[in-house]
Amino acid sequence: MDDVGRRQYSIILVTCFLFVNTLSNVYGGITSTFVRSEFPATDIPLDHEVFAVPPGYNAPQQVHITQGDYDGKAVIISWITPDEPGSSEVQYGKSNKNYEFTALGTAPTKYTFYQYKSGYIHHCLLSNLEYYYKIGSGDVAREFWFETPPELNPDTPYVFGIIGDLGQTYNSLSTLEHYMESKAKAVLFLGDLSYADRYASSYEYDQIGLRWDTWGRFVEPSTAYQPWIWNTGNHEVDFLPQLGEMTTFKNYLNRYTTPYKACNSSDPLWYSIRRASAHIIVLSSYSPYVKYTPQYIWLKQELKNVDREKTPWLIVLMHIPFYNSNSAHFMEGEGMRSTFESWFVDYKVDVVFAGHVHAYERSNRISNIKFNVSNGYPYPVPDESAPLYITVGDGGNQEGLAGPFLDPQPEYSAFREMSYGHSTLEIFNRTHALYHWNRNDNGKKLPTDAFVLHNQYWASKQMRKEKKHYLRSVAAGLGVY
């Protein structure tokens, strides 16, 4: 079957799924009856091969790339050398082994966290995108490649992966392997990376820094080859005064970088990028966001900057969901919801992805923006201008699955399941995209929740046009205009 055939086949399958789903939704949302027989929610041992240190003295490790500018014409390459600073150069070129260009990264930095001492952390911006790159020198040099993203265009097809709350357990490994089988070109990450801070509760304080290193090596098979668009969660805060560690986000910010200045953000924790046909806004759930704060002021302006004629797909990432129906973390997102939800409706955001809750859940299009403290409108209502809210906090970390779902299932919840997995969003053009949530089914990847996403800006515009055309033709038939 060729690509067109496969696409048509997928659409037919999804249409059938939607038909059944629609029938079910007449009577409310679906709570999946699937029971996950999970791998133990414990971190993979340090000596496991997935954490293997690359051979050779001072070999670069924990290689990861992210978008380096607003429009996808640059990439930031980051890596760590464990023993000494080493070279900060990246050699790159259009073909394998033929590195015609060299870029010089920033001077390597290192930091301490309690008694842990990091390696030398390198970041290098490549503004001239090519496919192949090489870091390190001599026998320990390592080579990778990535795909140059397409030019911004409203009809550019592109596939994003969505992963949240990953951690470094066997469930996390299953999620990562399944994701790497997909045809996604970039990851929208929803926060909570390594879960290294969990070692503070077991008093293994030196493990915190080490588990940031193991996580960097764990994800390298994906992060070295395609950009992960980073976001932070509570496990990146790392505020541990009992260890004398009071600089928040210290481990994360030293290791992971974002192109925040390119979108006039004042902080690497919130920013936006444009890629292919999408405008992606990353919000920080654990930074100030109320009126007059930098994040509030920035988002207000950034929403005005969105050009749906150029990037029709408007996607927001955050860590704490606005809507979930799980006893764990229920209503934790109320503060940000009451601050930003009306903007999401006004600007017709297509979809909001969040993590934090260790389960999968998709909402109907609803909003709760009429509420104020005295008017008595406390409930979310169906709202065609509202985004879909999808929680993909099911990467598979050491905390295991979230607590039970609320019963009965609230009307705003369309589908929910208590298991691990990841999502993909396959954008076809300015009006249609195909969404999948893929369950980790005892080692296998199983597409489970799927639907065709209609663009909130273009699809409604197209429907209005078709309706107008239809009414005109009816009026013409009746002899009236």
- What lies within 8 Å, CB to CB, of 350 at 6+ separation is 313, 314, 315, 387, 388, 453, 455, 456, 457
| Closest of 279, 115, 282, 112 to residue 191, by C-alpha | 282
Whole-number Å distance between alpha carbons of 458 and 477:
28
Residue 278's alpha-carbon distances to 27, 46, 49, 78, 265, in angstroms, are 34, 38, 36, 24, 18
Name the active-site residue from 329, 356, 422, 436.
329
3-class DSSP state for residue 63? strand
Shortest Å, Cβ 235 to Fe ion: 6
Least distance to Fe ion, CB of residue 151, Å: 35
- State which of positions 207-236 bind Fe ion (CB under 5 A): 233-234
How large is the angle between the packed helices 170-181 and 206-223, nearest 10 degrees?
20
Q: Is the Cβ of residue 18 or residue 328 nearer to Fe ion in the bound state?
A: 328
Report whether the peptide linkage leading into residue 408 is cis, meaning its omega lies within 30 degrees of zero. yes
**In the complex, least distance from residue 357 CB atom to Fe ion, rounded to whole angstroms:** 8
CA–CA separation, 436 and 440 (whole Å): 13
β-pairing verdict for 388-392 and 351-354: parallel
In the complex, the smallest distance separating the C-beta of residue 356 from Fe ion, rounded to whole angstroms, is: 4
From candidates 36, 185, 274, 356, binder to Fe ion by CB under 5 A: 356
The residue (of 192 and 245) whose beta carbon lies closer to Fe ion is 192
> CB of 422: closest distance to Fe ion in angstroms?
16
Q: How far is the CB of 165 from Fe ion (least distance, A)?
A: 6
Q: Compute the distance between CA of residue 308 and CA of residue 457 in angstroms, rounded to an integer.
A: 7
29 vs 233, beta carbon nearer Fe ion: 233
Strand-pair partners of 326: 405
CB of 171 to Fe ion, least distance (A): 15
Contact 90, 108 (CB under 8 A): no
Q: Which is nearer to Fe ion, 119 or 167 (CB)?
A: 167
Contacts of 147 (CB under 8 A, 6+ apart): 131, 185, 226
Part in contact with Fe ion (CB under 5 A); list of ranges 17-25, 241-249, 251-259, 349-357? 349-357
By beta-carbon proximity to Fe ion, the closer residue of 146 and 249 is 249
Give least dist CB 360 to Fe ion, A.
Answer: 15
Alpha helical stretches, state H, 113-188: 170-181
Q: Can you tell me the distance from the alpha carbon of 70 to that of 423, in angstroms, rounded to the nearest whole number?
A: 24
Residue 238 near Fe ion by CB under 5 A: no
Which pair of tokens denotes residue 171?
Answer: 């469930």
Q: Give the interface size with Fe ion as a residue count (CB under 5 A).
A: 4
Q: Which helix (H) or strand (E) holds 117?
A: strand 116-117
Asked about 356 being catalytic, the answer comes back as: no
Tell the smallest beta-carbon distance from residue 199 to Fe ion (Å). Answer: 16
Kindly state the tokens that stand for 454: 């209609």
Burial of 446 (0-12, 13-18, 19+ CB in 10 A): middle
Biggest alpha carbon–alpha carbon distance for the chain: 85
Question: Which CB atom, from 17 or from 286, has the smaller least distance to Fe ion?
Answer: 286
For residues 176-195, which are near Fe ion according to CB under 5 A? 192
Which pair of structure tokens corresponds to residue 440?
A: 């980790």
Which amino acid is located at 34 in the chain? F
Residues 6 or more apart whose Cβ sits within 8 Å of residue 220: 61, 62, 63, 64
Q: Which is nearer to Fe ion, 161 or 233 (CB)?
A: 233
How near is the Cβ of 24 to Fe ion at its closest, in Å?
A: 30
Site for Fe ion in 379-438 (CB under 5 A): none
Report the residue number, 248 or 462, with the smaller CB distance to Fe ion. Answer: 248
Measured from the CB atom, is 68 or 233 closer to Fe ion? 233
Query: In whole angstroms, what is the distance from residue 29 CA to residue 409 CA?
Result: 7
Question: Judged by CB, which is closer to Fe ion: 67, or 419?
Answer: 419
Residue whose token pair is 């200045």: 261
On whether the CB atoms of residues 351 and 188 are closer than 8 A, the answer is no
d(CA 14, CA 127): 39
Backbone angles phi, psi at 124, to 5 degrees: -140, 125
Interface residues with Fe ion (CB under 5 A) are: 192, 233-234, 356
Residues known to be catalytic: 329
